[in-house]
Amino acid sequence: MKILVIGGGGFIGSHLVNDMVAAGHVVTALGRRPVPFRPLPPNVGYVSGSLDDRNLMRRLVADSDAVAHLASATVPTTGDKNPVEDVQANLIGTLNLLDAMAETGCDRLLYISSGGTVYGVPQSTPITELHPLAPVCSYGIVKVAIETYLNLYARTSGLRPITIRASNPYGPFQGNLGIQGIIGTYLNRALNHQPIEIWGDGSTIRDFIFVPDLTRLCLTALESNKVGIYNGGTGHGTSIQEIAELVQEATGQKIPVLYRPGRKLDVPISVLDTTKAQTDFGWTPSVSLREGISLTWANLEHENHIFSTAQS
């Protein structure tokens, strides 16, 4: 297939693009950066642009058999600071994409939603796809609105959307600026011999998924004929305190921990039930958290070594 990957220059997107190329697809990646944040395979086209650019979207979509939409201009920590911007960039941007797809007849869409925010504070765990949607942050509100619009466009324009509600992905090449992905942030801190921060008492539980496991699910889902919503997690919960310990173990470092006040947008627990994805796609995550953190650390040290060598 000819696939347009929106957000293809980002963390999850760049892994997904690699999977797609390996599976023989022809990929164009769209990103906001002038260049992707890490090099893409040589035969992948990269376009720097925005969902707001309606003419660009129509042109790119008209030339594609399917679209994978992973772009988000915000993360949970930044969305609440400016909900207007969050809605403008992510919701209106996505509606521009859906309008472009309706106009050009490109009807297959993979959308990456957020299993960690759309459900809000869970009534029970692990959380199935049928759990009520009650987001407590702007990021999650926008994701819910987008998911609902996908259903609307399915009815009105024949869109065939498949949504993966991802839990907390981590792995090689994750950003480490401290705003997204605690494992990447902690490993980067370890690399720089800096203390790590825990927001709250460390009891907050998340469902961490190794990014290649997640992108394998995404590609399988996109290639299938299914439409609908699937959780993309592991079914296992790990506390932030345990993550801090696993990072110490993987890096072989004793890292000081600074405890900070809890944030209002943090739900206490989020663990996804992935029975539906297992049943429909025969998919299961294959990399344990301990193994995944070790692999991520090895990659980070390797990258750092290349960078240091290039600098010296």
Q: Least distance (Å) from a second copy to the CB of residue 103?
A: 13
Amino acid identity, residue 295? L
Q: Least distance (Å) from a second copy to the CB of residue 8?
A: 24
**Exposure string (b/e) for 28-57, b if CB count within 10 Å is 16 or more?**
bbbbeeeebeeebeeebebbeebbebeebb
For a second copy, give the closer residue by CB, 236 or 276.
Answer: 276
For a second copy, give the closer residue by CB, 130 or 310.
Answer: 130
Amino acid identity, residue 233? G
For a second copy, give the closer residue by CB, 139 or 283.
Answer: 139
Q: Least distance (Å) from a second copy to the CB of residue 167?
A: 21
8 Å CB contact between 78 and 137: no
Q: Least distance (Å) from a second copy to the CB of residue 154?
A: 11
For a second copy, give the closer residue by CB, 123 or 286.
Answer: 123
For a second copy, give the closer residue by CB, 116 or 135.
Answer: 135
Q: Least distance (Å) from a second copy to the CB of residue 118?
A: 11
Please state, in angstroms and rounded to a whole number, the distance separating the CA atoms of residues 89 and 142: 10
The first and second tokens of residue 144, run together, are 């819910």
For a second copy, give the closer residue by CB, 138 or 215.
Answer: 138
Q: Least distance (Å) from a second copy to the CB of residue 78?
A: 14
Q: Using only C-alpha atoms, what is the Rg of the chain?
A: 19
The first and second tokens of residue 146, run together, are 């987008």
Please state, in angstroms and rounded to a whole number, the distance separating the CA atoms of residues 48 and 122: 38
SS3 238: strand
Question: What is the torsional sign of CA 156, 158, 159, 164?
Answer: positive
Nearest in space to 9 (alpha carbons), one of 213, 218, 173, 211:
173
Q: Which residue has the tokens 């760049």?
A: 14
8 Å CB contact between 145 and 163: no
**Residues making contact with a second copy (CB under 8 A):** 80, 83-84, 87-88, 91-92, 95-96, 98-99, 132-138, 141-142, 144-145, 148-149, 151-152, 155-156, 264
Q: Residue 145 contacts by C-beta under 8 Å, 6 or more apart in sequence?
A: 91
For a second copy, give the closer residue by CB, 157 or 275.
Answer: 157
Q: Least distance (Å) from a second copy to the CB of residue 140?
A: 8
Please state, in angstroms and rounded to a whole number, the distance separating the CA atoms of residues 234 and 18: 22
Q: Residue 21 contacts by C-beta under 8 Å, 6 or more apart in sequence?
A: 27, 41, 43, 44
Q: Least distance (Å) from a second copy to the CB of residue 31?
A: 22
For a second copy, give the closer residue by CB, 152 or 258.
Answer: 152
